[in-house]
């Protein structure tokens, strides 16, 4: 384990790839041991999330931003999450082809993750992969995800800064509203600004921001880009760093991270509790109680109270084998 952690911290790619695979599908004990061993070296990277509808240009944008950051000498880790496409799917293949330009660059690590093969959910696997890249010392970590469902919104909770990528064209603003990612966007990117309707979309977004309440005096900026041509990357980077400055100066940086840790701990506890309850339910007494409920001798809540009391009594009794 020590050699492995050392290799990860030296940004050995094979060690990093092996770690992410282990966290995605490895055995529980090994996973937690690895995470705990890496934990002291985490918390340094700036995690930036790119979300938005499929085809908005998130991967192209990510690729351009990598180039931008590499010119500044910053190292970049990327986790591309696409639950809508399986491993052999077009989108993922496209990402790989597009990003192969970086595969020889030691300062870049790119990993695609699909919903398959990750025990315990995609958002957990993503968070753990981010933690590996963080421990490996990448300055900036990009997380790319399709902004459609709750699990994608959950993934975005991992990020310090969330950029929502939208494009001109019918239905996009509606999609933004529907996705519920609105509330978590720190910044809007109107990509494909070379297409008709970009101005209108920007105006719509600004209008929407005028009426929206901004929590901590941060008004999300709207930046337009043409990522295929690398246009707007300077302004985008400026907007991102402005957000980071805001986070640090307002204390929101720490507050967000504390919230994230709380959420993570809650998830760990819930999972343990769930397992505890599952193993309790496999006891033969449970069937007897169930019969009594079925015969209307006792109500379900009363049984639940009894079970709960017994589960708690049991765990207070010192069974800490976990
Ligand atoms: N016209 C135009 N096309 C773009 C731009 N950015 C990306 N695209 C194209 O949009 C398509 C989807 O891009 P991709 O980065 O895979 O989108 P993702 O699904 O959000 O990751 C690709 O064919 C890109 O070449 C842009 O700024 N302008
Ligand atoms: Mg993509």
Please list, in sequence order, all residues whose beta carbon lies within 8 angstroms of the beta carbon of residue 265, skipping any fewer than 6 positions away: none
**What's the pLDDT score for residue 88?**
38
132 and 67, same structural domain?
yes
Shared domain for 150 and 293, answered yes or no, is no
Is the same domain home to 139 and 114? yes
Supply the pLDDT for residue 184: 81
- Distance (Å) from CA 227 to ligand 1 centroid: 7
Please compute, for residue 310, the number of CA atoms within 13 A of its CA located in the half-sphere on the CB side: 13
Instruction: Give the sheet arrangement for strand 187-190, strand by strand.
Output: 108-113, 76-81, 140-146, 46-52, 161-166, 187-190, 222-224
Residues 205 and 57 in one domain: yes
**What pLDDT is recorded for position 183?**
76
User: Is the same domain home to 300 and 213?
Assistant: no
Give the mean pLDDT per block of 10 residues along the chain (322 residues). 95 94 90 97 96 88 94 95 51 51 80 68 86 97 82 81 87 56 85 93 88 76 95 97 96 93 91 89 91 96 93 64 44
Looking at residue 316, its pLDDT comes to 58
How far apart are alpha carbons 219 and 235 in whole angstroms?
16
Determine which residue's CA is closest to atom 12 belonging to ligand 1: 55
Whichever domain contains 143, its CATH number is 3.40.50.300
Ligand 2 centroid–CA 113 distance in Å is 11
Pocket perturbation via mutation, ligand 1, pick of 223, 228, 230, 236 by most ligand atoms within 8 A of CB: 228
Domain count, the chain: 2
In this prediction, residue 212 carries a pLDDT of 75
Q: Is residue 31 part of a domain?
A: no
Residue 38, in any domain of the structure = no
pLDDT at 254: 95
Between the CA of 179 and the centroid of ligand 2 the distance, in Å, is 17
Q: Which atom of ligand 1 is nearest to the CA of 193?
A: 27
Output the pLDDT for position 81.
86
Question: Which residue, of 194, 225, 250, is where some domain finishes?
Answer: 250
Q: What is the DSSP letter of 217?
A: S
Query: Which domain does 310 fall in, by range?
Result: 263-316
Residue 251 Cα to ligand 2 midpoint, Å, equals 32
């Amino acid at each position: 384990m020590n050699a492995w952690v050392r290799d990860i911290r030296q940004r050995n790619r094979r060690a990093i790839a092996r770690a992410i695979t282990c966290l995605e599908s490895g055995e529980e004990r090994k996973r937690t041991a690895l995470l705990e061993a890496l934990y002291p070296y985490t918390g340094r990277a700036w995690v930036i999330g790119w979300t938005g509808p499929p085809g908005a240009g998130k991967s192209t944008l990510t690729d351009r931003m990598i180039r931008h950051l590499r010119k500044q000498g910053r190292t970049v880790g990327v986790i591309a999450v696409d639950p809508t496409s399986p491993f052999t799917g077009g989108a993922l293949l496209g990402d790989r082809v597009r990003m192969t330009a970086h595969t020889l660059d030691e300062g870049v690590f790119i990993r695609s993750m699909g919903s398959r093969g990750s025990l315990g959910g995609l958002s957990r696997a993503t968070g753990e992969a981010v933690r590996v890249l963080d421990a490996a010392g990448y300055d900036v970590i990009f997380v790319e995800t399709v902004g459609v469902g709750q699990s994608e919104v959950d993934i975005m909770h991992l990020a310090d800064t969330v950029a929502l990528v939208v494009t001109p064209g019918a239905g996009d603003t509606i999609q933004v509203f529907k996705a519920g990612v609105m509330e978590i966007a720190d910044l809007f990117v109107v990509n494909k600004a070379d297409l008709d309707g970009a101005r209108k979309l920007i105006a719509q977004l600004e209008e929407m921001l005028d009426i929206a309440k901004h929590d901590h005096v941060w008004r999300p900026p709207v930046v337009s880009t043409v990522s295929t041509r690398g246009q707007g990357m300077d302004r985008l980077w400026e907007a991102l760093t402005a957000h980071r400055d805001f986070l640090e100066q307002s204390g929101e940086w720490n507050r967000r991270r504390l919230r994230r840790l709380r959420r993570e701990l809650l998830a760990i506890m819930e999972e343990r509790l769930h397992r505890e309850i599952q193993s309790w339910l496999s006891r033969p007494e449970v069937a007897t109680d169930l019969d009594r409920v079925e015969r209307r001798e006792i109500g379900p809540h009363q049984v639940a109270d009894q079970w709960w009391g017994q589960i708690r009594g049991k765990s207070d009794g010192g069974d800490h084998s976990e």
